A and B are shown apart, each in its own frame.
Chain A
Amino acid sequence: MKYLKFLGIGVIFGIALTKGQVVSWYRIIEMFYFDSFHMYGIIGLAVVLGIIMVQFIKRKKVKSIEGQLITFNPKNKSVARYLIGGTFFGLGWAMAGACPGPMYLLLGRGYWLILLVIFGALLGTFVYGLLRHKLPH
């Protein structure tokens, strides 16, 4: 029961991204061609509302349901890991037309071949774990 709420939030997330066609390969390619405002509107508005939300939580010291102060972990300072890692990610994002969220959501649409993408993503995660200390961060 403790986890049921996360299932519910996932359903909201899943319906939103599917109905917004964020899970469509075509929409991602269209985004990289800068031919439509759609994806930028979605991400941009989510970020703007997110900024307001985070500021509100920090200033009003909003507590989580468990009564703990909601905190945000600052990301480690670096350029290389974010730029290089991000570029790898972007290459895959355009190729698969899906980032990790949509990969799962597409399963719900019955696109079984997406399992190959998920398998590849697990493999990529594993290989990163193996090579981590050899990569510039």
Chain B
Amino acid sequence: MDFILQPWPWYVVGPLIALTMFLLLYFGKEFGVSNTLRVACSAAGAQKFSDFFHWDWRSQKWNIIFVGGGVIGGFISYMFLEADHTVALASSSVENMRDMGLTNIGESYLPSQIFNPEEITVGTVAYLIVAGFLVGFGARYAGGCTSGHAISGLANLQLPSLIAVIGFFIGGMAMTYYILPHILPF
């Protein structure tokens, strides 16, 4: 039981992600979470503005149900499967995040300075919307996100996916090293 309640190591989580991909393939579907964003735009009528949203989005209903299951999984884990909600990080990373101006690092899954509704400011709202915008815009521009490129694409030895993953790291490292230290905390 103790193993269940502790954070799961990489060699347990990696195979479960591969299992997710296999089950979706077996049921005739492709693993790609960011497609749900395009589905939502289409369902809201975005095809009036761009033919990009004029596609067979209804065939992607399964994907919306899949992420709905993901929300339930996140809830189950939070409520029943965690002894505590702390994250044991490498000390050098903690040091770097402290330099960014963050406190209570790793005491919960997300930094309260950014994600706690009680500490919300105009700055946080702008930060979160811009962060999401970059993820959504970038995922569609690159034709996929972590699941579509870093997992499914690389598993199928797709060179475009490798290029996309290199891009993920260029952007991620630039943000982490050069931008976040200047914009955090609010």
Contacts and interface: CB of A to CB of B under 8 A. Distances in A.
Nearest to A41: B10
A130 B7 CA distance: 42
Residue from A28, A106, A122 with most neighbouring chain B CB atoms (10 Å): A122
Contacts of B142: 81-82, 84-86, 88-89
A53 B155 contact: yes
A10 B134 contact: no
Contacts of A64: 25-28
B5 to A, nearest CB: 9
A28 to B, nearest CB: 8
Q: Is the interface of A mostly helix, strand, loop or mixed?
A: helix
Interface string A40-59: 11111111011101100100
Given A29-B97, A85-B143, A116-B129, A91 B72 contact: no
B65 A3 contact: yes
Nearest to B42: A129
Nearest to B124: A113
Nearest to A101: B33
Interface string B75-114: 1111001100001011011001100000001100111001
Interface in B35-54: 36-38, 40-41, 46, 49-50, 52-53
Contact of A89 (B7, B15, B151, B167): B167
B132 A92 contact: yes
Contacts of A95: 127, 130-131, 134, 175, 179-180
A38 B87 CA distance: 12
Contact of B52 (A13, A112, A132): A132
A44 B169 CA distance: 15
A41 B14 contact: yes
26 contacts: A6-B62, A11-B73, A13-B69, A13-B70, A17-B17, A20-B13, A21-B87, A29-B93, A51-B154, A82-B149, A82-B161, A86-B165, A86-B171, A90-B169, A91-B174, A93-B168, A95-B131, A100-B36, A118-B132, A121-B132, A122-B136, A124-B135, A124-B138, A125-B37, A125-B139, A126-B46
